[in-house]
Amino acid sequence: MQMPMSQEAGEFSCLVCGCGSVGFLILERLRRENISCTCLDNDPSRVKELRAQNYETFCIDIANEEKLSELGLFDVVFFVTDDHEANRAGVIWAQKALPSAQIIARANDPINKTELAEAGADSVIYPQEVVANATYSSLEQLRSQGNGSKLMQILEQWTGSLGIVLHTNPDPDGISCGFALATLAHMANPNLTVRLLYDGAIGYQENRALVNLLDLKLERLKTHILAQCTYIALVDSGGPGINNGLSRDTHVDIIIDHHNEKNITPNAAFIDIRPKYGACASILTEYIKALNITPNSELATALLYGIKTDTKDFHRNLSPNDLMNAAFLLEYTDADLLDKIILPQYSHEIMDILGNAIINRKTKSGYLFSNVGYVRNRDALPQAADLLLSLEGITTSIVYGITDEAIIMSGRNRDVRLNLGAVMSETFGGIGDAGGHVTMAAASIPLSIFSLVRDKEVLLELVIEPLLQNLYRQIGLLEDNTEY
């Protein structure tokens, strides 16, 4: 039997041991990639079939270490027979005989998977797990295709005006989703008027840069404007009145969100809520992909920035879908435009609030609280909370202040034992809007019952302490009767 020669310098080569159904599919894929490949099988008839298809094939038992050693050197070795012990023995041999090779082995069950890894396999393939993951990925793809097609069909049938309502203080995720939904609406129905609406302030410098550079027309949410809208859509929000200027009884026709909200509108014509996604922009991106739409550079840049910011540079609440969607958008993104959005100038007010947050901070057992006083730009609070969370020894930061209308609070958390969103909701949900994720949360407590008090900062001092005592108790900083 003539054995293969060792590969020449610079040539990449593979050895596939076991050429059944799994091994043969590997061989076919390697051939398509023009990768040099040698295969082994202990079934003479199988070896004959493979040779007839011009595969370099040898009839060798994996247990025959002497024959295996005569094959030469390989960059990657696959052990993919349906015999676990044979695969395990092959892995042990390859560890000794081919120390520089990457070893990939096939497991028949989770226990085999662990044993092969312990034997020295660099990667273990468990086909049933691969099939399950591929099935779920296909399900997600079909869901996006179905939802994208359904959304376009609904938009095609509408006449009049569509109002897309963003957050009270729009963030890049919500802004990009509004931009994307408006784009889809124009494509589905050029005669449908689309308006982007919000009721708060565009506070972050990056957010203002995003709106200005993309030349987006965002309108204040007014009663008369809302009355002119035939249909209402919510993006990055689970229902009317949840971080938006709509009243709770407003009928909403479209809801697209990634928060785990319970108070959604059940009779909306279209609802797509995916709490496992790190950004709502991921959902809109999947519609674009499923509908085979090529996004222009402005839309791609906005959506990529939306995913980037809502996952905190791909470090928070991240799902594989977010990464895949970001990779898709990257091809169409305008890098210069993205740089201009990311690197805007900070206002004096933002710097003052950040300074107050640092000066007024109080810490205990890894928790940090800071009162920044009267706030005009409420979006400075999450920036301050992000900044303070980076302090050494801090696991949770909560920054609070007061506006003309509410006591507002923003929190950031990296303690996996604490669900900050649930704590905020439990503590403040009964007297205002509160909630969020494990790692980030916010609360807004209206001042309507204190409307006659003129000194807002004195009011904050009077009101916030009892509220914080309840919060301290919820997160375990004090016993029921212990003062902080």
Contact 253, 268 (CB under 8 A): yes
Q: Which residues pair with 444 in a beta bridge?
A: 408, 433
Where residue 466 falls among pLDDT bands split at 50, 70, 90? confident
The answer, yes or no, to whether residue 8 has pLDDT greater than 70, is no
Please report the pLDDT score of residue 2 as a whole number. 44
Please report the pLDDT score of residue 344 as a whole number. 61
Rounded mean pLDDT, 8-25: 80
Q: How many beta carbons lie within 10 A of that of residue 54, not counting itself?
A: 8
The answer, yes or no, to whether residue 412 has pLDDT greater than 90, is yes
User: Which tops the pLDDT comparison, 362 or 69?
Assistant: 362
What domains are there in the chain, each with its CATH number?
Answer: 13-125 (3.40.50.720), 141-342 (3.90.1640.10), 348-475 (3.10.310.30)
In order, the DSSP letters of 422-448 are: HHHHHHHTTTSEEEE-SSEEEEEEE-G
What type of residue sits at position 133?
Answer: N
Please report the pLDDT score of residue 287 as a whole number. 94
Rounded mean pLDDT, 121-139: 80
Q: Which two tokens stand for residue 244?
A: 């938006």
Where residue 13 falls among pLDDT bands split at 50, 70, 90? confident
Rounded mean pLDDT, 202-225: 86
Q: CA end-to-end span of the chain, whole Å?
A: 83
Helices 380-389 and 348-359, axial angle in degrees (round to 10):
40
Q: Which two tokens stand for residue 408?
A: 């507002």
Where residue 5 falls among pLDDT bands split at 50, 70, 90? very low
The answer, yes or no, to whether residue 372 has pLDDT greater than 90, is yes
**Segment 302-335, tens digit of pLDDT:** 999 999 988 888 887 888 889 999 999 999 999 9
Of the spans 57-61, 200-204, 207-211, which averages the highest pLDDT? 57-61
Of 202, 207, 186, 265, nearest to 233 (Cα)?
265
Where residue 6 falls among pLDDT bands split at 50, 70, 90? very low
pTM here is 0.58
